[in-house]
Structure 1
Amino acid sequence: MSLPQEKSQRIETLEGLRGLAAIVVFFFHWILGFLPQLSGIFPNFPKENVIVGKLGLFFLNGAGAVVFFFVLSGFVLSRRSILNNNSEQIGKNFLKRWPRLAFPTTVAAICSWILFRFNLYNYHDAALITKSPWLASFASASPVPVDHSIWDALTQGLFYTFYRGDSYYDSSMWTMHYEFLASLLIFGTTLLIISYKNSSKLFPILSILIISIILFMYSPWYPPFLFGLLLAYVLPEKSKINKIGNIFIFVFGLYLLGFYSEKGMIIFGTAFAYQYVDMVGSMLLIISCYDIVLTPKFSKCAKMLGEISFPFYLLHVLVICSFGSWFYITLKGYDIPHASFISCLVTLFSTILISVPFIVLNNRWVNLLNYWISLIDKKNNQY
């Protein structure tokens, strides 16, 4: 069987930013685990040296990176269909969405089970040194699995992480619950937009805003998806902003993406959740970058970052809590200076290397899905 290779419709600059955002999440989690005094999250540490969450420190704001993922998902899941006025593409994306996400999450959950089964996790011993509550609780997994059942890991990766939000085999998978449910909402709203695109310009915008307000009352993690969809609808195919304007928008977007505070940002006496500050920053990044054409050298780098982003995101906590923790403990045992910094870099590159075979498997799975969808499409066209 020869599997068709899907022609890439991805925007390279945004794919590159997705990969960089995954690395930001890694740095954020490393600080939570090995330099918790810098995070400002845990009450048992003094606040004098806190650096995470300050405006402008976008490269340390993992929460902001997750918001960027969500805004970008809303944009890319709908952009092509809106530009081409193509409702059939939405149907194909809908059919592929769950299996497209479930394969990598299941692989990640099984990998975590294997690490538990053979006692390869070292996060608890490392947490005794760093005093990090995040690391001691297996990267805030709730609850930490105790029976280590392979069936439990399999069902979590396949189903429960999407429908219940379970993520105790890999705490990074908490985002999959929002990613999956919001993508279904994006597909439905995109169909609505296509249906009314020619009859009313304001109706799709009002619909998106109303849905966002309703979702805001449920969770602040859903509106970023809808505002990504809003960008997909309102942005022209080619940006009309000049180069200087794009640079200013990009820099200001990065500045906003540095914000993280559980109390939110106070503006004119009103507290806005940090997700919405980061959402505006994410939107500005997309506005400034979505139509940039990269040189071949940068294009190759952006594609590579985009390809590695999802497996890297799913695996990085597992590597931090196993090999990363062991390496850190080893360095501390020999009194090697800057143990956290050295082990951070080694763990980062180790996670990238481990992600490569994951990419190969995932690409095979995506090609297989495309083959099945093409068969279904061909069969439907016969009738």
Structure 2
Amino acid sequence: MGYLDGLRGLAAAIVVIHHFVQAFLPGMKEIPLLNLLYAGNLSVCIFFVLSGYVLTYRYFKTGDQETLVSGAVRRYPRLLPPVLITILLALVLMNLSLFSNIQAGEVIGSEWLQGFWTFNSSFPDAIGEALWGVWFNGENSYDCVMWTLTTEFTGSLIAFAFVMLFGRQPYRWIAYLIASIYFWDSYTLGFILGVLLADLYHTETPGTHAKPVYAMLLVYGLVLGSWDTITTKNMDLITWIFHLQNNEPLTTVHTIAAFLITLGVLNLPQLKTILSRRVFTYLGRISFSMYLVHMLVLGSVTSTTFLILHNNGVSYTVSVITATLISIPVILAASHLITRYIDQPGITLSKTFYQKLKTDSHTGTRTASLPRE
């Protein structure tokens, strides 16, 4: 499923662009459709829909419940290593005073950029956030993008539990409806819709005549994904349907958009071919690391480079462009290294952990069944 890796990689790249736009163009107005190039919230929703799909599709393909048990047991140790190393890296950067985001934010006029790494850090605090706070308390002091990981972790477990309970039941469609209503205005809806996609994709075989329909749904998803609070704040019907609140992310709208976009990708061969190209699949492989580390680069390398140039008389535009161009290879290199030496070994370690747990469990069961001499 290289094309899904490609979609994930594209979404991760858009999150990076989104944060650079927030940092250096704080007053930029949202332009519908054009803002898809920096639609960070939509991209996060795509992550959640993809997780729901990828974590459960093997079950719908094979009917093997062990894939669900394995995925649930391995989820925490699989996600933890890159998070831990990123938080420790942020701790080092803070202790060495290498973050320049506050000074850069003052020059730019970006309150958003000034808001990070303003607290007193400590090693125990960093470890506690990495091991517990990120996953269960929504903490993101050391890396603001980690606000999504509580949803990623709990949403994954909800997806596994949902499929174990209803995966092959004839009435599961009612369960999908109830779960969708229950999670309607939360990011967890993305996981439910991702599971639904996995179910539909591996139990139904759409005919070729449906391709124009999927293309239309994809376009509609892109239009929905470009909506923001300014677009919708005076649209009473939409506000009522989607529970929109001014100045809040369009959680439900963007989740439905992510569902339609992913549905289109799954059923349009031309789009699969494009997203299977090496540049997108590579971004997909490093996407988790890139998502985690890019804010650290923005707060250090990018901000410092911008300040050096701007303080020496270089124009604002040239300073921003130069700082961004210097930061891109740094982000890619850091993401590559974390993926190769932390993330991929972490995936292997999580599999080993599950196999050992499984072996010990079987050994304990056999020992308990032996008759006493």
Q: What TM-score do the two structures reach when normalised by structure 2?
A: 0.86
> Contact 1:123/1:325 (CA < 8 Å) preserved in 2?
yes
* 1:251 is the counterpart of 2:232: no
Cα distance in 1, alignment partners of residues 303 and 258 from structure 2: 32
Moved more, 166-175 or 370-379: 370-379
CA RMSD of the aligned region, Å? 2.4
Question: In the alignment, which residue of structure 1 is the partner of 2:370?
Answer: none
Question: How does 1:233-312 map onto structure 2 within 5 Å?
Answer: 233-236=199-202, 238-242=205-209, 243-261=211-229, 264=232, 266=235, 268=237, 270-271=239-240, 272=242, 273=244, 274-290=250-266, 292=269, 298-312=276-290
Which sections of structure 1, spanning at least 5 residues, go unmatched? Answer: 1-10, 39-49
How far residue 159 of structure 1 moved from its aligned partner, in angstroms, is 1.1
Question: In the alignment, which residue of structure 1 is the partner of 2:123?
Answer: 150
Cα–Cα, structure 1 residues 195 and 233, in superposed 2: closer, same or farther, change >3 Å? closer
* 1:164 is the counterpart of 2:145: no
How far residue 19 of structure 1 moved from its aligned partner, in angstroms, is 0.9
Q: Deviations over 1:220-264 (max 9, x none)?
A: 222122111122222346543455444443333223222222785
Cα–Cα, structure 1 residues 89 and 269, in superposed 2: closer, same or farther, change >3 Å? closer
Question: How does 1:209-224 map onto structure 2 within 5 Å?
Answer: 209-216=177-184, 220-224=186-190
> Contact 1:115/1:121 (CA < 8 Å) preserved in 2?
yes
Which sections of structure 2, spanning at least 5 residues, go unmatched? Answer: 245-249, 367-373
Q: 1:317 aligns with which of 262, 286, 295?
A: 295
* 1:28 is the counterpart of 2:4: no
* 1:365 is the counterpart of 2:365: no
Q: 2:163 aligns with which of 165, 186, 190?
A: 190
Cα–Cα, structure 1 residues 19 and 269, in superposed 2: closer, same or farther, change >3 Å? closer
Cα distance in 1, alignment partners of residues 146 and 20 from structure 2: 17
> Contact 1:182/1:222 (CA < 8 Å) preserved in 2?
yes
Cα distance in 2, alignment partners of residues 297 and 282 from structure 1: 16
> Contact 2:7/2:275 (CA < 8 Å) preserved in 1?
no
* 1:375 is the counterpart of 2:356: yes
1:336 alignment partner, SS class = coil
Letter in 1 for 2:68: I
Cα–Cα, structure 1 residues 32 and 302, in superposed 2: closer, same or farther, change >3 Å? closer
Alignment coverage as a number of residue pairs: 349
1:37 alignment partner, SS class = coil
1:235 alignment partner, SS class = helix
Cα–Cα, structure 1 residues 78 and 130, in superposed 2: closer, same or farther, change >3 Å? same
Letter in 2 for 1:59: L
Q: Percent identity?
A: 26
* 1:15 is the counterpart of 2:5: yes
Cα distance in 1, alignment partners of residues 324 and 129 from structure 2: 29
Cα–Cα, structure 1 residues 230 and 367, in superposed 2: closer, same or farther, change >3 Å? same
Cα–Cα, structure 1 residues 94 and 247, in superposed 2: closer, same or farther, change >3 Å? same
How far residue 195 of structure 1 moved from its aligned partner, in angstroms, is 4.6
Cα distance in 2, alignment partners of residues 267 and 372 from structure 1: 51
Letter in 2 for 1:288: G
Letter in 2 for 1:17: L
2:140 alignment partner, SS class = coil
1:121 alignment partner, SS class = coil
How far residue 155 of structure 1 moved from its aligned partner, in angstroms, is 1.4
Higher helix fraction (1 or 2): 2
Q: Deviations over 1:106-162 (max 9, x none)?
A: 111101000001000000110111111110101xx7xx431x111111111111110
Question: In the alignment, which residue of structure 2 is the partner of 1:115?
Answer: 93
> Contact 1:56/1:256 (CA < 8 Å) preserved in 2?
no
Question: How does 1:39-54 map onto structure 2 within 5 Å?
Answer: 50-51=29-30, 54=32
Question: In the alignment, which residue of structure 2 is the partner of 1:349?
Answer: 329
Cα–Cα, structure 1 residues 267 and 307, in superposed 2: closer, same or farther, change >3 Å? farther
Moved more, 163-172 or 186-195: 186-195
> Contact 1:61/1:260 (CA < 8 Å) preserved in 2?
no
> Contact 2:68/2:164 (CA < 8 Å) preserved in 1?
yes
Q: 1:225 aligns with which of 164, 171, 191?
A: 191
1:36 alignment partner, SS class = coil
Cα–Cα, structure 1 residues 341 and 240, in superposed 2: closer, same or farther, change >3 Å? farther
> Contact 1:25/1:60 (CA < 8 Å) preserved in 2?
yes
